[in-house]
Amino acid sequence: MDRNKFLLVFTLILCMINSAFSQVKVIPLSSAKEINGYGVYYALPKTVLNIEVQVLKTQNIKGPYSDYAKKYLGLNKVIKTNSNKYEITNVIIKPSYIPDADQYYYVEIDEKASKETKSVLMSLTESGLIMGVNDKLFKRKINKSDKKYISGNFDYNSVFNYYLSPDVVEHIDTVFTRVDVDTSTIEKQIFNTVLINKTSEDKAKEIADEIMRIKESRYKLLTGFQEVSYDKGAIEYMDSQLKKISDDDLKLFTGVKLEKKFTYHYTYIPNSDIKDELITPLFKFSESSGVHDLSSSIGEKVNIKVINMKTTDKFNNVIKKNYDTKKEKRSKGFYYRIPDYGNVSIIYNKEEYFKSDFLINQFGIVTFLPANKSEIKFYPNTGSIKNVVIEK
């Protein structure tokens, strides 16, 4: 099975114990009063659901001259106000596997069996999940863990600054001064230079005039109005540069729309006691402000819904009839799991953003093999048996 998200590195631990397998006894730690003798511990896995939520943020930023777009450029469809919009674009759920704290076992070896020539070979994962008994060691792939990518804040003031015209303009006044000298009158011209602030409308008109000049320049360039004969590459380059300047100027009137992607990660472990279905909130979400913690007063809850499919109920009834664990006194062999399926969905505002079935180990049942000599190979992700050979 390839669903081994949790198993980052598999270290196979060989437990070579000189004994006859018939004298190996497996004890559940949940029912063991005390542990005596020599042995080794192993665990069965439980399923963890790793949830990745992808959110798209769309920022509408008003242009500084949007109020004059209609007057100078004849534009009606422009951004009038700054706004943010968030939407959940995708949800991905991948299972991983960790040792189940309720399913640890102790494999006890009788000291009297040390004279026997046979041995028991066990292979475990790094976290103690059982992989095989008297089976050949095998390797598994290493999976890199996901990283969380969160974009930084956006500076509204930096959007248009590069293209804005200066706030002031140089204004030159000419002052005439008449001076009487004897019987003559001399007129002097004095140039008084001052800086005055331009109004928003003045700056808007200036940018609009520039857009029209660029439009005219592109027309002349593409229709061959210029006297210089340019090659195709030069014309295309000049036209693209003029278009870029014009588009940037135009954004001062129309505004801009920016998009950012955010990724959030959550972990959910279904409880083994879910009999039918359970709905659990993961986080809160607002279309105007994005993702929030459950403690926040902003947003609506995004829930995970898990339904126990109960496909192993019939097996469980049969097992209970054949084995009364409280009265059963003969030695038990290795415990293994029969996992069950769960239907998992992510719901926000009554809309399903994800729905799929997963093997949920803790929804299944745990039973055991007879304490005979055996060769067993387990699925380490579920604790179920892949191959088994039992000698009578």
DSSP string covering 196-215, please? EEPPHHHHHHHHHHHHHHHH
Encode pLDDT of 79-89 as tens digits: 999 999 999 99
Name residue 158's amino acid: S
Encode pLDDT of 105-129 as tens digits: 988 766 655 444 445 666 777 666 7
Indicate the helix (H) or strand (E) that contains 140. Answer: none
CA-to-CA distance for 102 and 107, rounded, in angstroms? Answer: 16
Residue with tokens 């399926």: 341
Where does residue 53 rank: exposed (0-12), middle (13-18), buried (19+ CB within 10 A)?
Answer: buried
For the whole model, what pTM was predicted? 0.70
As a whole number, mean pLDDT of residues 340-347 equals 95
Q: What average pLDDT does the chain have? A: 77
Which of these ranges, 179-188, 229-238, 252-261, has the smallest mean pLDDT? 179-188
Residue 279 pLDDT grade (very low, low, confident, very high; cuts 50, 70, 90): very high
CA-to-CA distance for 262 and 331, rounded, in angstroms? Answer: 55
Domain limits of the chain?
17-154+260-390
Q: Which CB contacts under 8 angstroms, 24+ apart, belong to 171-178?
A: 171/195, 171/196
Q: Are 305 and 344 in contact (CB under 8 A)?
A: yes
